[in-house]
Amino acid sequence: MRALLLGGAGFIGLHLARRLTRDGHAVTIVDNFSRGRDDADLAALRDTPGVEIRNGDLTDPATWAALPHGWGQVHLLAAVVGVRNVESDPARVVRVNTLAALHLLDWIRPDEKLFFASTSEVYAGGVDLGLVPVPTAEDVPVVVADPTAPRFSYAISKLLGEAAVLHTARARGLTAVVGRFHNVYGPRMGADHVIPELSLRALRGEDPYRVYGMDQTRAFCHVDDAVEAVVRLMDTPAAAGGVVHIGNDAEETNIGDLAKLVLRVAEFDPRLDPVPAPPGAVARRCPDLSRLRALTGYEPVVSLEEGVRRTFAWYRDRWPR
């Protein structure tokens, strides 16, 4: 099978590329490296037989015109993400994420199966307003509580992408799956997400040690489990045409306990400094994975402690401080 990973030099993309090559598939990555990294991990993948890496801007029609067809799977993973990026340039978030999806839908052929990466942020507003339950299923109302809040530009862009993919798939006979990722973490995800940030501040010896939103809760999913879910969904015909949550509902934790776990792994014992959560951060997030289980038999296997240990070790050994 030939797989095209759009945004494949990024976090989930690289882990998915590794998995697909281990399974014997040929992989082509397209990335403009605005967020993806051309680092030692990507270099090792580049040397793997059957892997091709192309530099391309998915907002530019010329990039699509140069791409061949004949893919067994196409994964759209490219997006502008991260609270700092979203708050500093929300218009770019909407432009890049929307154009990439719309150009893809103009380009793709009906015999090329599509995976579209979305996010649990699409219903964060409903959780904040008390309109939807937690754990949260795929069929809850999606609500943008405050369209003037810059961070909601990401959720809006992904909602637009979901609608475009699902309705275009139905109209044109495409096979497409929308996967909503829930707090996926692991090695090589950058420094702007909670587990890497906690790890790096522990490695730097921060004392007092700031913990933002200690009482907020999340259900974190290690990237290896997330990749397993994607692989299974793409091999499950019944998943086509729907939205499916991807995450880990087994170990919901609050941020204070997560910080203590990171500090225990780091063997560092600073004084904790509780700090309010960033504006717009949802108080609780946990997926209902009933649909994913029913479709694929998926169960997460990487415990939070084991995942944090793997992630911490990578940042300790590979990330500049």
User: Does residue 277 register a pLDDT over 80?
Assistant: yes
In this prediction, residues 264-272 reach a mean pLDDT of 98
Q: What is the mean pLDDT of the segment spanning 170-190?
A: 97
pLDDT of residue 185: 98
Q: C-alpha 44: how far from its chain's center?
A: 22
SS3 string of the chain?
CEEEEECCCCHHHHHHHHHHHHCCCEEEEEECCCCCCCCHHHHHHHCCCCEEEEECCCCCHHHHHCCCCCCCEEEECCCCCCHHHHHHCHHHHHHHHHHHHHHHHHHCCCCCEEEEEEEHHHHHHHHHCCCCCCCECCCCCCCCCCCCCCCHHHHHHHHHHHHHHHHHHHHHCCCEEEEEECCEECCCCCCCCHHHHHHHHHHCCCCCEEEECCCCEECCEEHHHHHHHHHHHHCCHHHCCCEEEECCCCCCEEHHHHHHHHHHHHCCCCCEEEECCCCCCCCEECECCHHHHHHHCCCCCCCHHHHHHHHHHHHHHHCCC
Say which of 154, 185, 209, 298 is annotated catalytic. 154
User: What's the pLDDT score for residue 210?
Assistant: 97
CB distance 240 to 174 below 8 Å: no
Are 182 and 221 a contacting pair, CB within 8 Å? yes
pLDDT of residue 86: 79
Looking at the predicted structure, is the pLDDT value of residue 39 above 80? yes
Distance between CA 243 and CA 139 in Å, rounded? Answer: 9
Residues 159-185 have a mean pLDDT of: 97
| DSSP SS3 for 78 | coil
Average pLDDT over residues 132-161: 90
Backbone φ, ψ for residue 2 (5° rounding): -105, 125
Mean pLDDT throughout 143-168? 90
154 is catalytic: yes
pLDDT in tens, 57-66: 999 999 999 9
Q: Is it the case that residue 145 has pLDDT exceeding 90?
A: no
Residue 212: the pLDDT is 96
Question: Are 108 and 67 within 8 A, CB to CB?
Answer: no
Position 150 pLDDT exceeds 90: no
Strand 217-218, strand 253-254: pairing:
antiparallel
Q: What is the mean pLDDT of residues 194-219?
A: 97
In the chain, where the domains are located: 2-189+220-250+287-300
Q: Tell me: pLDDT of 319 over 80.
A: yes
- Say yes or no to pLDDT of 160 above 80: yes
Distance CA 220, CA 262 (A): 13
The single-letter DSSP state of residue 24 is T
- The confidence band for 68, taking pLDDT boundaries of 50, 70 and 90, is very high
321: pLDDT strictly greater than 80: no
pLDDT of residue 281: 84
CATH number 2.40.30.10 is the correct assignment for the domain at 2-189+220-250+287-300: no
Confidence at 245, pLDDT banded by 50, 70, 90: very high
pLDDT of 3 higher than 90: yes
What band does 85 get if pLDDT is binned at 50, 70 and 90?
confident
Query: Residue 166 pLDDT more than 90?
Result: yes
